[in-house]
Amino acid sequence: MRDCTVRLDHSKYHFVDDMPREYVHEMNKGFRFNRKANLVGSSNEVNVWLNNEEAKALLDTGSSVSTVSKDFYDKFLSETPLSPISELLHIECADGESLPYHGYITASLRVNDHALNDQMIEALFLVVPSRRYHADVPLLIGTNVLDILLEMTKNTYGVKFLQNAQLTTPVYLAFRCITLREKELAHNHNVLAYVKSAEYKRITVKPNSEAVIQGYLQRKLPYHPTCAVTNPTPRSNIPDDLDISSVLVTYDHTQTCTIPILISNVSTRTFSIDPKELLCELQPATVQSCQLQEESHSLCVKSEINMPENELSSDDLDKVHKVLDDFDDIFSKGEKDIGHNDRVQHRIELSDEKPFKQRYRRVPPAMIDQVRDHIQQLLEAGIIRKSHSPFSSNVVLAKKKNGQLRLCIDFRQLNARTIKDNYSLPRIEDILESLAGNKYFSVLDMKSGYHQVEIFEEHKPRTAFTVGSLGFYEYNRMPFGLTNAPATYQRLMEECLGDLHLNICYIYLDDLIIFSRTLDEHLDRMRQVFTKLRESGLKLTPKKCFLLMKRIKYVGHIVSEKGIEADDDKVDKVKNWPRPTSKEEVRQFLGFVGYYRRFVKDFAKIAKPLTNLLPTPTKSKRKTKASTKQTFEWGETQEKAFLELKTQLTSPPILAYPDYTHEFELHTDASGQGLGAALYQEKDGHKRVISYASRGLSKSEQNYPAHKLEFLALKWAVTEKFKDYLYGQKFTVLTDNNPLTYILSTAQLDATGHRWVAALAAFNFDLQYRPGKNNADADGLSRLPGILKNQTSIKIPKESIDAICQTMVVDKTPYIECLPISETVVDGTEDQTSDIPSVNIKNAQQKDPDLSLWLDFVASGIRPRKDQLSPSSYNTVLLQNFDKLVVRHGVLHRKTDETFQVVVPQVIVPEILHLLHNNFGHQGRDRTISLVRDRFFWPGMCRDIESWISKCERCTRRKTPTNVRAPLVNITTSQPLELVCLDFLSLEKSKGGYEYVLIITDHFTKYAMAIPTKNMTAKTTADAFFKNFVLHYGIPQTIHSDQGANFQSHIIQELCKILNIRKSKTTPYHPMGNGQCERFNRTLMDMLGTLEIEQKKDWKTYIGPLVHAYNCTRHSTTGISPFALMFGREPKLPVDFAFGIRETEVNKISSTKYMENLRKTLQASFDLAMRNSKNSQSKQKEKYDSKVRAATVNVGDRVLVKIVAFDGRHKIANKWEEDVYIVIDKPNFDIPVLYGRISSLFSIWE
C-alpha cells in the first residue's frame, strides 16, 4: 500500500505496514469518513539525483539534517569520501531514540521539479544505518537542504513564489510548512497585534514614491501599554523593495483603532497591495520625553552623529569631540531649527507671466489634523506665509520614510513656464576620481537643504498653493519640485564654501564630502568647512552626518582608500531582480544597471540582446508601424544577457583612482555588436582598472568594415570617452588589429576619416597591437586575413603615428561630403524659438468678423455676392482671389504655384512683421517682403511692410542709403562649389577676444558663412576654412580672395595644392573684385548693427543665427534662397512652427526615389537661378554702361599708374607714379587687364 505512505512526525514508524495492528485499529476506530481519502495524505516523496545517481527522497520539514542510508552509500557512493564527526553531533528521533550515524558526505543534489529548473546544489548528508523503509526511499532531505532550495525558488519567482512557481505537491507542501513556521516565530517576540490593509481596493505604489495605507488591527489591544510602534513582519508577503516605515502609535482602547502605514517604493518597479493584505506588526514601545536643554544639546549631537568610535584612540576621540563642541550651533536642534541664507536667492523667471489657477484637490478628512499641524510648523519655521497671490498650485500629500507628513506642491504648470537655469552640476565621475589617495571621508547632510534658501521677494507669490479650507499660502524659502531648484542650491553651496570646494571638499547638491589623507588634516578641514557653514547660516542634520569614515557611501557609490565600488544595496537589488516580462520592465532594468556600466567590461555588447527588445527611437515624433507592432520575445540570448549582467554587477571590481604621475594603458576592441574600451594603470606591479566604457553602433556604423570599426573604437575611446584622462598624458594603446591599416589601406579617406585623424593627432600615445589569440582583451572579431598575417606584438611609437597622420593631412584628398547645415550656423538658431510666441492662427481667423465669414464661404464652395460683404478693400481683394482660397486644417490659405499662404487677420499683422523684420536682422524691404510672402497673405501687404520698415527706429538709426556701386566684372557659375569667395571682416572686439570674421560665400548659390576668429593669420584662415567649410560642404573647384598676406600665404597655397583647388585673386587695392563678399559684409554689418547695445558686446553669439536668417531669405539675384539652392529644400524656420504652417505629410519613399526627386529639384532650381542671375547681371551691366565716361585704352597708349598705397599723411602727395607705362597687349577686351612695360621691365596690372 505504497499510496498510503504516512510519516508520523519523526517517529520510527513511516508506513502503516510498519505499525502494530492495534495502532491501525485505534486510528480507524471512530472515523466515519473514507480512510484512504481523509486519514492518509498525499505522498511527500520526490525523485532526486545524488551525485548523478537517481533515488527517492523523503522531504521531512521536521528534520534538521539530511540523511542517506548506508546501503545506498556502499552501492552507489563508495567513491565519495566519508568524513567522521566524532561525537560533535547527536541525533534523536521524535520519540527520543538515538539515531547512530557513520559520518557525513558532501554530494551534489538535483531535485526532479520543473520549477527548480533542475539546478544542482552542494549539500551535506549524514550516512545512517539502513532500515526497512530505506529499501525504497534511501534519502531523507531535511531543512538544511530545503532552506537552500526555498531561497533559490524565492529569488527566481519573487516573494509570492508559492503562487507563481508551479511546484510539485511534495515540494509545495514542504516549502509552505517552512514558510508558516518562520511566520509563527513572530509570536515569540512580544507582538501585540498584526496590521492588515483596510483599503477597499488594490493600492498601487509607483517607483520611487510613497503611499499611505490605512491599516486595521487583527485583534484587540491590551490596556497597557498605550503606545506601540509598527515594524515589518516576516509573516508578510510584502516585497523587499517596499519599505514600511516605523511609526509610533498612540491608541484608545474604547475606539476602533486604524493606523496609517507609510510604504515607500525604493525600486524602479511598480507594486500593488491587495485589500486585507498583511502589512506589519505592532510591538510595545516605551516613550521617554527628552528635554533639549542648551547644556545637553552638545551631548545629544555627539550621540547622534555617526562615527567609528571603536577605531579611534581616546586622544583622537577627544579631538573630534572638541571640534563638535566648538561648532555644535551648526547642527539642527529639531524640526523647527532650520538654517537660513539669503546670499543666493532663488528666482523664478517666467516666459509667460500670466497668472494661472489650478483646481483644488480635496484633503482626505482623516489627514486634515495632520495637514493643519504641518502647515502650522511651516509657518512657525518661516518657510511659508499667508498669500494673496493670483497664482495657485495644488498640494500633494505624502509621507517621509520616518512617517512624518511631507507637503508637496504640484509645480508642473509653473515649471512649464519657467525659463531654465543652465547652471551646471558637477560630474559625479569627476568627483569620485578626485578622491584618490585619501583615507578619511566625512559626509555631511544639510537640514532640509532647500528650505534654507530664500526666494526672491517679487517671485514668492508664484509659489502660492491652496489647501482649501486650511488656507492659502506661499513659500518664503525654496520648496522641493521647482525646476531650477537644484541649480540654485548648487550655486548657493559653491558660493558659501568658496575656495574650499574642489580643494578640501566636494559638494553635489546636498551631499557634501570632506576628504583627507590623515586624521589631523581631516579635523582641520572639518573646522574650515564648519566655519564656512556657520558664516553662511546653514545647518546640518546630526543623525545623517558620517564623520571620519574609511569606507562610505557617496552619490550612489562606495568610496574608500582602495578605490570606487558599486553600492552594496544596489548590487543586492540586481541580484534579486526578477526576469523582465515586458518592454517596460526591460527598460527599468537597463536604466538601473546602466548607472554602474563603468564597472562592467563590454557593457553595451552584453546588453545588446536586451536593448534589441526596446523600440528603436526615431527622430520623428510619429511612431512607425514597425515600432508599434514590435513584439516582446524573451529567448535564450536575452536570458543569457540578463544573467550575465546580474553576475557581472553582483561581483563588480573595485575601480582604482587615476594617478596622473603614471602612464595609462588603453585597450580598445570593436565588433559587430559595439565598441569597448578599458583604461588601466600599473601600480605596485599589478594592472588596475580605472574604468570600462562601451557603446553600441549606429545603423551606418554597422556597415563599416572591421578595420574601420577598429579605427572608430580608437578614435572614440581616446577623443571622447577617456579624453579627460588622456589629454596631455603619455599613454599606450593596445588592440588586436592595427587601426592605422585603415588609414594606410584606404586610398581616399572621406571627410569623417580626416576628422578622426585630426582629432587623434592632438594626443601623445604609442600604439601596440598583436593579432588574434595573443591579445587577451580582444574578441577576435577584427582579425583580417592578410593584414596582420604572421605578425607578432609590434609597438608603433608616437613619432610614426604623427608622420602617418601628417601624411594623410597632406597627401589625401577628402571626399566631398555635404551636410544639411554647419555647426557654426545651427548652434544659435535653436535659441530663436524661445522668444517666439505660439500663435493660434485658427482661433484668430475665427474671431475676425470678416475672415470668419470667408471660412464659411470657402468651406461651402459658394462664391459670395458683394452685398453679402462689408464694404472694405480687404473683402474686395479676397473676393478677387476667391478661386485661390482653400481651407487646410481649419485655417484659411491662399494657394499659389509655389506654396500655401496663410490669410492673416489684421490684428496679428504687427506681430508677424515684428517676427520677420525686427527678430530677423532688420533686413531691407525686398528681403522682408520675400520672407512674408512665402508664408502669409493679406491685402496691402507690401504697403504695410514698407510702412513698418520706414517707421522702424533701429533701421533709421543704423542703415544708410546704398551707395552707387563700383563697376563689377560679371562672373558666371553653373553649380555649387564652382567658385567660393573668401574675405575677412574686422569688427569691435566681442566677448572671448573675437574681433575678426572669416566670410565665405558660394558664388552660385549665394550661400554664406561667417566664422568668428581671434586673428587673421594664415594658419587661422586655413584652419577655419578647412574645418568649417570643406569638412561640411566639400572641396570647391576655385577659391577667390583679395591679395592679403593670409590668403597668399604658403599654407593656403599648400592647402590648395593638397585639395586640388584653383586659387584666384583680385586686383590689389580693388575690393570690388570680390564684390559678392563685400556686399555680404555690408549686409552682415547692417544686421549686426540692429542688435541691442548689450548684444553687440557679444556679437559672436548672434552672428550664427543672423547668417542663417540671410541664407533662408530669397536672394534678389537668383530668386531662390541660398539654403534651398545649396540643399534642395526650403528651410523650416521657428516662425513656421509658431504659426503651425508648412506642416506637410511625411511620405515614406525609398532612398533611390528620394535621390531622384532631389536631383530634379536641384536641377530645376539651378536652371532658374542661372536664368535669374544672367538677367540680373545684364541689367547691372546695362545700367553701368550707361554711366561709363572713361576713355578707351588701346595697345601702344602711354598711361600712368595711380598710387593707392601711401605711407603716413598724403594730402599733398602725388596721386600717380612717376614712370610712364606703354600698353603692349590687351589679351581680353571684356576684362580690364592690360600688359605694360617700362623700358625692358614688364609689369602686369589690372
User: Rg for the chain (alpha carbons), in Å?
Assistant: 42
Residue 228: closest CA among 239, 217, 237, 238: 217
In terms of phi and psi (left: phi > 0; alpha: psi -120 to 50; beta: otherwise), the region of 268 is: alpha
Q: Which residue has the cell 569606507?
A: 551
Q: Which residue has the cell 539525483?
A: 49
Is 80 exceeded by the pLDDT of residue 234?
no
- What is the structure's pLDDT at 1165? 63
- What is the structure's pLDDT at 188? 53
**Predicted confidence band of residue 400 (pLDDT cuts 50, 70, 90):** low
* Helix, coil or strand: residue 1170: helix
- What is the structure's pLDDT at 647? 73
Q: Cα separation of 452 and 539, whole Å? A: 8
Residue 648: closest CA among 717, 703, 705, 599: 599
The pLDDT of 490-517, averaged and rounded, is 85
**Predicted confidence band of residue 1021 (pLDDT cuts 50, 70, 90):** very high
Residues of the chain above pLDDT 70, percent: 69
* Helix, coil or strand: residue 532: helix
- What is the structure's pLDDT at 1013? 93
**Predicted confidence band of residue 16 (pLDDT cuts 50, 70, 90):** very low
The three three-digit cell numbers of residue 739, written as one number: 587601426
The CATH number of 190-284 is: 2.70.40.10
- What is the structure's pLDDT at 741? 52
Is 60 exceeded by the pLDDT of residue 294?
no
Is 50 exceeded by the pLDDT of residue 778?
no
Residues of the chain above pLDDT 90, percent: 6
The three three-digit cell numbers of residue 1176, written as one number: 540680373
Beta-carbon contacts of 599 under 8 Å, excluding residues fewer than 6 positions away, are: 566, 648, 649, 652, 653, 655, 692
Q: In a 10 Å sphere around its CB, with 0-12 CB exposed, 13-18 middle and 19+ buried, how is residue 1204 labelled?
A: exposed
CATH superfamily placement of domain 297-561? HIV Type 1 Reverse Transcriptase, subunit A, domain 1 (3.10.10.10)
For the chain, where do the domains classified as CATH 1.10.340.70 start and end?
839-958
- What is the structure's pLDDT at 459? 92
Mean pLDDT across the chain:
75
Is 80 exceeded by the pLDDT of residue 1169?
no
Fold for domain 42-182? Cathepsin D, subunit A; domain 1 (2.40.70)
Is 90 exceeded by the pLDDT of residue 749?
no
Instruction: Specify which of 454-468, 491-505, 1156-1170 reaches the highest per-range mean pLDDT.
Output: 454-468
Helices and strands in the chain: count of H runs, count of E runs: 39, 48
Is 70 exceeded by the pLDDT of residue 7?
no
- What is the structure's pLDDT at 828? 33
- DSSP element (H, E) containing 108: strand 103-111
Task: List, for residues 801-836, the tens digit of each pLDDT value.
Answer: 454 454 343 333 332 222 222 222 333 333 333 344
Query: Is the Cβ–Cβ distance between 265 and 206 less than 8 Å?
Result: yes
Q: Cα separation of 216 and 195, whole Å? A: 5
Q: Cα separation of 912 and 837, whole Å? A: 11
Q: Cα separation of 1089 and 1015, whole Å? A: 22
Task: List, for residues 240-286, the tens digit of each pLDDT value.
Answer: 788 887 777 776 555 556 788 888 887 888 888 888 888 888 887 76
- What is the structure's pLDDT at 742? 53
Dihedral sign computed on CA atoms, order 966, 970, 975, 979: negative
For the chain, where do the domains classified as CATH 2.40.70.10 start and end?
42-182
Spatial strand order in the sheet of 384-386: 384-386, 472-475, 465-466
Q: What pairs with residue 194 in β-bridges?
A: 281
Residue 340: closest CA among 483, 180, 214, 449: 449
- What is the structure's pLDDT at 835? 40
Q: Which of 12-16, 127-131, 780-784 has the lowest mean pLDDT?
A: 780-784
Q: Cα separation of 399 and 405, whole Å? A: 5
Pairing label, strands 730-735, 664-671: parallel
Q: How far is CA 974 from CA 308, 765, 1072, 1230, in A?
A: 80, 47, 22, 20
Segments in 959-1049 forming alpha helices (H): 1018-1025, 1031-1033
Complete DSSP assignment for 164-226: HS---HHHHHHHHHHHHHHHHGGGGG---EEEEE--SSPEEE-TTEEEEEEEEESSPPPSS-S
CA angle 558, 564, 566 (to 5 degrees): 55
- What is the structure's pLDDT at 829? 33
Q: What are phi and psi of 1081, to 5 degrees?
A: -55, -45
* Helix, coil or strand: residue 324: helix
**Predicted confidence band of residue 758 (pLDDT cuts 50, 70, 90):** low
For the chain, where do the domains classified as CATH 3.30.420.10 start and end?
980-1160
The CATH architecture annotation of domain 980-1160 reads 2-Layer Sandwich (3.30)
- What is the structure's pLDDT at 68? 92
Q: Which of 156-170, 182-196, 341-355, 925-939 has the lowest mean pLDDT?
A: 182-196
Residue 845: closest CA among 898, 889, 904: 904
Q: Cα separation of 958 and 696, whole Å? A: 53
Residue 392: closest CA among 433, 427, 356: 356
Q: Which of 67-81, 414-428, 770-784, 1228-1242 has the lowest mean pLDDT?
A: 770-784
Query: Is the Cβ–Cβ distance between 935 and 1134 less than 8 Å?
Result: no
**Predicted confidence band of residue 19 (pLDDT cuts 50, 70, 90):** very low
**Predicted confidence band of residue 462 (pLDDT cuts 50, 70, 90):** very high
3-state helix, strand, coil in the chain (%, to 5): 40, 20, 40
Spell out the long-range contacts of 995-1002 with Cβ–Cβ below 8 A and sequence spacing 24 or more: 997/1084, 997/1103, 998/1024, 998/1025, 999/1077, 999/1080, 999/1081, 999/1084, 1000/1025, 1000/1028, 1000/1029, 1001/1076, 1001/1077, 1001/1080, 1002/976, 1002/977, 1002/1036, 1002/1122, 1002/1126
Q: Which of 190-199, 299-308, 1119-1128 has the lowest mean pLDDT?
A: 299-308
Cβ neighbour number for residue 845 with a 10 Å cutoff: 22
Pairing label, strands 453-455, 341-346: parallel
**Predicted confidence band of residue 401 (pLDDT cuts 50, 70, 90):** low
Q: What are phi and psi of 254, to 5 degrees?
A: -85, -10
Task: List, for residues 554-610, the tens digit of each pLDDT value.
Answer: 776 778 877 777 666 655 655 677 788 888 788 877 876 775 566 666 777 788 888
Q: Cα separation of 80 and 74, whole Å? A: 10
**Predicted confidence band of residue 199 (pLDDT cuts 50, 70, 90):** confident
- What is the structure's pLDDT at 981? 92
Q: Cα separation of 284 and 190, whole Å? A: 8
Residue 1065: closest CA among 966, 1147, 979, 986: 979
- What is the structure's pLDDT at 1189? 55
Is 90 exceeded by the pLDDT of residue 1012?
yes
- Helix 941-950 with 925-933: angle, nearest 10 deg: 140
Is 60 exceeded by the pLDDT of residue 703?
yes
Q: Which residue has the cell 497591495?
A: 273
**Predicted confidence band of residue 966 (pLDDT cuts 50, 70, 90):** very low
- Put simply, whether the predicted model's pTM sits higher than 0.75 gets the answer no
Cβ neighbour number for residue 499 with a 10 Å cutoff: 9
Q: Cα separation of 1042 and 999, whole Å? A: 12
DSSP type of residue 477: B
Q: What are phi and psi of 839, to 5 degrees?
A: -105, 125
Largest Cα span, the chain: 151
Residue 1061: closest CA among 1133, 982, 1008, 1123: 982
Fold for domain 839-958? Endonuclease III; domain 1 (1.10.340)
Task: List, for residues 102-133, the tens digit of each pLDDT value.
Answer: 888 999 999 888 777 677 888 889 998 888 88
The pLDDT of 616-645, averaged and rounded, is 64
For the chain, where do the domains classified as CATH 2.70.40.10 start and end?
190-284
- What is the structure's pLDDT at 651? 58
